[in-house]
Structure 1
Amino acid sequence: MEFRDRYAAGRALAQRLAAWRGRREVVVLGLPRGGVPVAWEVAQALQAPLDVLVVRKLGYPGQEELAMGAIGPGGVRVTSDIPHLWPVSEKALEEVVAREQAELTRRERLYRGERAPLALAGRVAILVDDGLATGASMHAAVLAVRAMQAQRIVVGAPVASVEAVRLLEAVADEVVCVHVPEAFRAVGLWYEDFAQTSDDEVRRLLAKA
């Protein structure tokens, strides 16, 4: 365990991103739910605005923690190697996509209400999550932000697998992590307190921001 909780992890990550402090073009985007407390600390340290970018993992039927891919705003969809290794029917895949799209829409409405997303065109977007296992969700986030015409995309996480970093370095402009262990196993193992972040906590942090 390297971090006491997500807030401590966010402070550690912010130190690695200090070069962006005070830059007016920077926007910090947290991936709900667990990435938002981390992103909150980063945004505070960098003196940057905070928003959310809702993406949803596409879990393998019966083993939902196994990512078949992910979806993001604007119809973005990425797939992993899982469906090739363990084939899933097109019908089952589309059912997962439909369910997660409904949840993505619900969360965007819940977290942001009527407030419009921050404009990203020509800006530096720092995308933050609490950890990167496969990198699928963050991959979808990067593609979504790229479509919003961000000038530069920086991916940040307290901990990530070697495979996730390799994947994201190919699509983002920069990847910044505090730890990239050879033996990754799971994000939660790197936290003393990895309790689930609630919707209320996400809303509270966004309101404070």
Structure 2
Amino acid sequence: MMFRDRVDAGRRLAAELAGYKGEDVVVLALPRGGVPVAAEIATALDAPLDLVLVRKIGVPDQPELAMGAVVDGEVPLVVRIPQIIRAADVDEATFERVLAAELAEIARRRLIYLGDRPRARLAGRMVIVVDDGLATGATARAALHAVRQQNPKRLVLAIPVAAADSLADLAEEADAVVCPEPQQRLDAIGYYYDDFTQTSDEAVQAILARFPAERARESRGDAAGS
């Protein structure tokens, strides 16, 4: 195993991102698995933490195979993978049905994770997008598209382990890609972790409570002194 757990993966990534400490950085996690990874980076960089609510749109009879992805927003951003849609013989009605289900899950997560929590300002700032692993790259691509529309100063994708060909495809979407363990042949992401237990909603909520989106430094300092 390359990583003990997501915390270990986050610390490995944080070491590679240490050069960004002192800059105006925001760390954005893809929930749920990306949140504990991103928390370690936010801690190391003394940076605020927020979420990118993105969901894979899976082929109905192969839900792990992405035929697209959708990102939360006033107008949700939908990314399609035409070659997968054609190969799986998915018609428009079926695609829209799966999309609707994923939008419903995004709405649920927005409510329980974010509620009335203030959101991080991204324009003009260094933004680091984090997940716990990357296979096809569909969700990461959608997340990067959505973040880019908010005009960050610099956009960085940070992934502990990823398929090398997917990383190459995403290089044009981000200003920098950081991945300590690129794989020519990627097995299931969990294979690279000793503990890949699913991150719970409660764990996400607890982590976010430690990192208010625009007051991370003050809040953690107050907690340390209490």
Same topology, TM > 0.5 = yes
**Counterpart in 1 of 2:28?**
29
CA contact (8 A) 2:165 2:184 kept: no
| Inter-partner Cα distance in structure 1 for 2:170 and 2:110 | 24
Question: Could you state the TM-score of these two structures normalised by the residue count of structure 1?
Answer: 0.97
- The yes-or-no answer on 1:4 pairing with 2:7 is no
| Inter-partner Cα distance in structure 2 for 1:11 and 1:49 | 16
**Counterpart in 2 of 1:115?**
117
SS in 1 for 2:39: helix
* Larger-gyration structure (1/2): 2
What is the root-mean-square deviation of aligned Cα atoms in Å?
Answer: 0.9
Which of 179, 182, 185 matches 2:184? 182
Which of 207, 210, 223 matches 1:208? 210
SS in 1 for 2:136: coil
CA contact (8 A) 2:70 2:103 kept: yes
May I ask how many residue pairs the two structures share in their alignment? 208
- Aligned-pair CA distance for 1:73: 2.2
Q: Which runs of 4+ in 1 moved over 3 A?
A: none
- Aligned-pair CA distance for 1:77: 1.2
List runs of 5+ in structure 2 lacking aligned partners: 212-226
SS in 2 for 1:150: coil
**Counterpart in 2 of 1:66?**
65
| Inter-partner Cα distance in structure 2 for 1:31 and 1:62 | 24
**Counterpart in 2 of 1:161?**
163
| Inter-partner Cα distance in structure 1 for 2:181 and 2:80 | 25
CA deviation profile, 1:97-117 (whole Å, cap 9, x unmatched): 111011112111211111131
**Counterpart in 2 of 1:16?**
16
Q: Which amino acid aligns with 1:5?
A: D
- The yes-or-no answer on 1:40 pairing with 2:42 is no
Deviates more, 1:159-168 or 1:190-199: 159-168
| Inter-partner Cα distance in structure 2 for 1:39 and 1:178 | 15
| Inter-partner Cα distance in structure 2 for 1:22 and 1:96 | 42
SS in 2 for 1:38: helix
Which of 87, 106, 109 matches 2:108? 106
| Inter-partner Cα distance in structure 2 for 1:199 and 1:178 | 27
SS in 2 for 1:204: helix
SS in 1 for 2:157: strand
CA deviation profile, 1:118-137 (whole Å, cap 9, x unmatched): 11111111000000111100
Superposed counterparts of 1:66-145, under 5 Å: 66-74=65-73, 75-80=76-81, 81-145=83-147
| Inter-partner Cα distance in structure 1 for 2:126 and 2:61 | 38
List runs of 5+ in structure 1 lacking aligned partners: none
| Inter-partner Cα distance in structure 1 for 2:191 and 2:125 | 34
Q: Which amino acid aligns with 1:103?
A: E
| Inter-partner Cα distance in structure 1 for 2:86 and 2:155 | 29
SS in 1 for 2:173: coil
